[in-house]
Structure 1
Amino acid sequence: MAPTGRRTGLPEHPSAPTDAVWRAAVPHLARRRLFTVAAAAATLAFGTGLPARGAMAAPQLDAARITEDPFTLGVASGDPLPDSVVLWTRLAPTPYEPDGGLGQQRIAVQWEVALDEWFAVVVRDGVALAYPEYGHSVHVDVKGLDPGTPYYYRFRTGAWISPVGRTHTAPDTGTPVASLRLAAVACQAYHDGYYTAYRHLANEDVDLVFHLGDYLYEYAVNSAGGERRYADGTLPDVFNRETMTLADYRMRYALYKTDADLQAAHATHPFVVTWDDHETENNYAGPFDENGSPPEQFLLRRAAAYRAYWENQPLRSAQLPQGPDARLYRRLHWGTLAQFDLLDTRQYRSDQAYGDRPHVPGPESDDPARTLTGAEQERWLIDGWHDSGALWTVMPQQVLFSQRNFDVTNPPKVSMDAWDGYRASRNRVVAGAKAAGLANWLVLTGDVHVSYALDIKDDFDDPASRNLGTELACTSITSGKDGAARLPNWESHLRANPHMKFYDGRRGYLRVRLDRARAEADFRTIPAVSTPGAPVTTAASFVTEVGNPGLTPA
């Protein structure tokens, strides 16, 4: 979530395209124009310092010559399948340097997967190469594992051994799993406070963590670390500027990933990640940034941001970007209990209507050609619902799906950056859910820096209309600073949105237990992020029953 009113709605740069063809992502001519620009941007990117896919010409470094711990950014795992899971680390003995202190040489890294944390029973091992072209990151897609099984993993290079991580595989797709425990997190501006919520999350008994976007923020971080208020001003000036280049994004991830609490959460639980806007630039929409730069120029930046994102997350090679494009939306399963349809609502969206300011819905925002997901992703989503045999249909995504009226006026203003600004797109998705007969639809949302519990209505303007599903919006890890249980608009928001059952403005995360009878959601909050070590409490708990959409207090 970001300040409103900054985007003009049309490019300000005199050389930027201003014709309507740039303003929709669905019509054929618009797609052709966009793909042409994307291809041009990719060509430019690879000619101006971004590595081409498969560029592996670097000489190999003797790992025995690494004299400082290269595992300063920790370890992580992600995207568990019944027979495999992705393991991640990135070598950076001096993480605040563009090359991590390793120059332009590739490095051999051993990896091990075991049934126990002492590695007495190693079941898989091998050697991966950390290439400078990919920021010395390591992504190992370990195959041949047993379904529904916990594992431990670690990396080694030279004399150095990484911290031990714990992960597990998913159950077999056809297995009638009894229950699942998941957590959802989002929005972790480093400069807005400490990652205390992650320390508590590391101690939770959950099977999966969904990161719903804004893992990184592009804004400058001063030497005091913003709200962290480092007394000695230890952070170098390299962070005190907005991220623009591949080196900038790599170093900013290094800053975030040196945090011990974030490392603890990653080492304890497998993560399933998707991005929102700040991993690249505030409130961007497809090829448009918020400042009206020429799309050709912005797509260069997007290519750098997408590459750095992949380098720093436990993602498979299928998510490796090609220039400014990456296929991040994907589908995972947890036996027959749950299907997860992970969305990307940034890369393919039409530009925000009405200058991206809060506005009453109108012809510009309600144009049927407008899309939040792009036509291909929309088809993939709805087709996957028709083919699903899962009890729960879970849709982890970024921006608020349900209607959210900002005031009690008639008609009320809504966000042009959320699904409210793309009502035709939302209507198509809702129609697809109804046609597929989704009985237990759960939407997980980030972005808003507050906790919401909402009923997804057949008609949001009619409180008596039937419930189609449930939306749970997790608050931020830090973004928005300390927050408060009741923000100034607390009462008006609840009055303007009868389908909103809960609203809390503190930091924290969401914890959900799914079983074959119901879903139980706990909104976990901490009182402050401006000082470390705050306790965690459950602000509220809700239940939605199988076959009976709608939230009730637990």
Structure 2
Amino acid sequence: MALSGRPGPPSQLTLIPHDTELRAAARHLARRRFLTVTAAAAALAFTTNLPTRGAFAAPRLHTARITDDPFTLGVASGDPLPDSVLIWTRLAPVPFEPDGGLGQQRVDVSWEVALDEAFALVVRQGTAAAHPEYGHSVRVDVQGLDPDSHYYYRFRTGAWISPTGRTRTAPAADAATASLRLAAVACQAYHDGYYTAHGHLAQEDVDVVLHLGDYLYEYAVNSAGGARNYTDVVLPSVFNRETTTLADYRMRYALYKSDPDLRAVHAAHPFVVTWDDHETENNYAGAVDENGSDPDQFLIRRAAAYRAYWENQPLRADQLPEGPDAQLFRRLRWGSLAQFDILDTRQYRDDQAYGDVPHVPGPESDDPARSLTGDAQERWLTDGWGTSTALWNVMAQQVCFSQRRMDLNAEAKVSMDAWDGYRASRGRLVAGAKAAGVANWMVLTGDVHVGYAFDIKDDFDDPDSATLGTELTCTSVTSGRNGAERPANWDTYLRANPHLRFYDGRRGYVRVELGRENARADFRIVPAVTTPGAPVSTAASFVTEVGSPGLTPV
């Protein structure tokens, strides 16, 4: 049991403030109703369900009463700045209960950051509260650190000490950094297999990991863990339903973070995270869910999903949702080498055209008023390119940016859920990148459960048009189960899309090294995820030269 005697179970990160314009954009339901009393009430409930002080504060738990390890969900760090990094944990001695086994009491947690793994050289320390209103999650924005430095961190409550995490700060803003090693991951459906790729990534020498969405899936997970096919574990029936409530989402994160490989990769590297659709619901667009339900009711669910996401990720207080709205797009810099623009392509988008199925582009999808990012985020992105002094401009986002024709017909079908379904929106970004003189543009993408390498063309229908940048999709960690080296449509896609330079259907991640002369991308794959312990290998590697966009195999 968890409680004895308890019955039952901004600096260099530039953020757009929650000003009037942004709030209007976040709440705008394009071609739909505005928030009614129901959704407004949900927003109020989630906005006001915050920790309080004084007589109304949650009672403090005496930590001696915690009789089981509360650090079952591990530790994490994220969004490194030159002088700070965010460290995270969440207390859950009974992780598969809605309250994690701690009831509605707050818990004091001490933390320390050191130069060495033995914590002989502690440089920062303090105490934070794990509030029940935040699912007993703990986040500390550790300030006053040295740029471009590695640190170790841990938490303690009562007699319990967390696992040790390793993190780092970014270089100083004007530092002439020689290189940056990163990895991009996405799409980790628990029920589709083991997180073997994360286990290997935990051993990689990378500076930061970008998680590009679908960290969580809302689908039911049966008692055998789906494709994991457990024989010695029986998962509780609470997981065998779709997530819709805050309690559902909190417990689903606990299930995912119960995986040792996921805990290991978080402990090994700082993460920069953004969501796609499944953290809330499949293929939702703004306030419209996949079934076209009442938007007011969906926004209640979205508020729950967004709140649970923030509670379970190494995100700063700036990203705390206000009801069904959250400020997730943000900017991170790595010295003078790279600028990272982290996008949110779900919260502000117009509904998918033509019923959200592959379709030939037409008047509905090509309406110039349609947007995948929303106007405020689009302006923030293009304005940021205009002021960027970085050698590399990396756009970390969710769905395929490059054109992806799905057949060989003259009028080919494309995905209405990706940028192909919002061609005017994509065209504005391409124009913005050209106007800003972005010379070394790299787009990192998740979502599609395969590895792609694209040359970004000025005109995708003209193979001889200028190449403007590079897009790399990172396949999935597990989603889609084992995958194949050459999916059934492999030949069709390569013939239909001359700018597609690589296509592989196996699971894994992409590892990228940005340098002063070029960038190298390695597509790292595992042959199977439905059984644990598969080895990792490199399926293909490409280089793109500074000042000369386009991919060359190596």
Task: Find out whether 1:128 has 2:125 as its counterpart.
Answer: no
Any residues of structure 2 matched to 1:466-481 within 5 Å, and which? 466-481=466-481
How many angstroms does 1:29 deviate by? 11
Contact 1:26/1:371 (CA < 8 Å) preserved in 2? no
1:441–1:469 Cα contact (<8 Å) kept: yes
Give the 3 Å change call, closer, same or farther, for CA 39–446 of structure 1 in structure 2. farther
* Structure 1 residue 231 displacement after superposition: 1.0
Q: For the residues of structure 2 that align with 1:156 and 1:27, how far apart are their CA atoms?
A: 41
Q: Does 1:299 align with 2:303?
A: no
Distance 1:68 1:85, change over 3 A: same
What's the % identity of the aligned pairs?
A: 74
Deviation at 1:40, TM superposition (A): 5.5
CA offset digits 1:48-98 (Å, max 9, x no partner): x88623445211001111000000000000000000000000000000000
Q: Deviations over 1:27-48 (max 9, x none)?
A: 999669879418862423544x
Q: Aligned residue for 1:6?
A: none
Counting only pairs closer than 5 Å after superposition, residues 53-132 of structure 1 correspond to structure 2 as: 53-55=50-52, 57-132=57-132
Partner of 2:288: 288
Secondary structure at the counterpart of residue 505 of structure 2: strand
Say yes or no: does 1:498 pair with 2:495: no
Distance 1:420 1:279, change over 3 A: same
Kindly state the Cα deviation for residue 446 of structure 1 after the two structures are TM-superposed. 0.1
Q: Which residue of 1 aligns with 2:415?
A: 415
How far off is 1:172 after superposition? Answer: 0.4
Change (3 A) 1:353 1:86: same
Question: Partners in 1 of 2:208 and 2:67 — Cα distance?
Answer: 35
Letter in 2 for 1:43: A
Deviation readout 1:365-386 (Å, 9 max, x if unpaired) = 0001100000000000000001
Match of residue 406 from structure 1: 406
d(CA) in 2 for partners of 1:408, 1:127:
61
Which string of whole-angstrom CA distances, capped at 9 and with x for unpartnered residues, describes residues 416-443 of structure 1? 0000000000000000000000000000
Alignment correspondent of 1:5 = none
Report what 2:11 is aligned to: none
- For 2:42, the aligned partner's letter is L
Native 8 Å contact 2:330 2:342 kept in 1: yes
Task: Give the residue type in structure 1 aligned to 2:349.
Answer: R
Query: Structure 2 CA distance, aligned partners of 1:205 and 1:180?
Result: 10
Residue 52 of structure 1 corresponds to 49
> What is the one-letter code of the residue matched to 2:348?
Y
Distance in 2, Cα, partners of 1:218 & 1:382:
33
Maintained 8 Å contact 1:365/1:421: yes
Question: 1:266-288 CA deviation, whole Å, 9 max, x = no partner?
Answer: 00000000000000000000000
Q: Distance in 2 between matches of 1:325 and 1:44?
A: 11
1:43 aligned to which of 38, 41, 44? 41
TM superposition score normalised by structure 2: 0.93
Cα 1:32/1:402, change in 2 over 3 Å = closer
Structure 1 unpaired stretches of 5+? 1-24
Q: List aligned pairs for 1:10-25, cutoff 5 A.
A: none
Contact 1:73 1:92 in 2 (8 A): yes
Q: Distance in 2 between matches of 1:252 and 1:102?
A: 17
- Does 1:174 pair with 2:174? yes
Residue identity opposite 1:97 in structure 2: E
- Specify the alignment match of 1:17 in structure 2: none
CA contact (8 A) 2:27 2:325 kept: no
Correspondence for 1:16: none
SS at match of 1:180: strand
The two structures, once aligned, show a CA RMSD in angstroms of 1.7
Provide the residue aligned with 1:318 in structure 2.
Answer: 318
**Structure 2 CA distance, aligned partners of 1:77 and 1:158?**
22
Q: Deviations over 1:332-384 (max 9, x none)?
A: 00000000000000000000000001000000000011000000000000000
Residues 397 and 444 of structure 2 are in contact (CA less than 8 Å); yes or no, is this contact kept in structure 1? yes
Distance in 1 of aligned mates of 2:317 and 2:131: 14
Q: 2:241 matched to 1:244?
A: no
Deviations 1:458-502 (A, max 9, x none): 000001111000000000000000001001000001000000000
Query: Paired residue for 2:12?
Result: none
Give the match's secondary structure for 1:298: helix
Change (3 A) 1:534 1:338: same
Preserved contact between residue 110 and residue 127 of structure 1 (Cα < 8 Å): yes
What amino acid is aligned across from residue 433 of structure 2 in structure 1?
A
Q: Give unpaired runs (5+ residues) of structure 2.
A: 1-22
For residue 484 of structure 1, give the secondary structure of its aligned residue in structure 2: coil
User: Are the counterparts in 2 of residues 217 and 278 from structure 1 also a CA contact under 8 Å?
Assistant: yes
Distance in 1, Cα, partners of 2:25 & 2:42: 26
Cα 1:50/1:232, change in 2 over 3 Å: farther
Alignment of 1:434 onto 2:464: no
Corresponding position of 1:393: 393
Seen in structure 2, the aligned counterparts of structure 1 residues 439 and 116 have a Cα distance that, compared at 3 Å, is same
Letter in 1 for 2:132: P
Q: For residue 35 of structure 2, give the secondary structure of its aligned residue in structure 1.
A: helix
Aligned residue for 1:346? 346
Please report how far the alpha carbon of residue 544 of structure 1 lies from its aligned counterpart in structure 2 after TM superposition.
0.3
- Does 2:363 match 1:366? no
Q: Deviations over 1:244-280 (max 9, x none)?
A: 0000000000000010000000000000000000000
| 1:309 aligned counterpart, secondary structure | helix
| Amino acid aligned to 1:461 | D
Q: Which residue in 1 is equivalent to 2:544?
A: 544
Distance in 1 (alpha carbons) for counterparts of 2:379 and 2:437: 16
| Corresponding position: 1:510 with 2:510 | yes
Aligned mates of 1:38, 1:121 — CA distance in 2: 55
- 1:244 and 1:316 map into 2 onto residues whose CA distance is 24
Between 537-546 and 233-242, the greater mean CA deviation after superposition: 233-242
Give the distance between the partners of 2:507 and 2:92, measured in 1 at CA.
30
Distance 1:393 1:448 in 2: 22
Give the letter aligned to residue 123 of structure 2: V
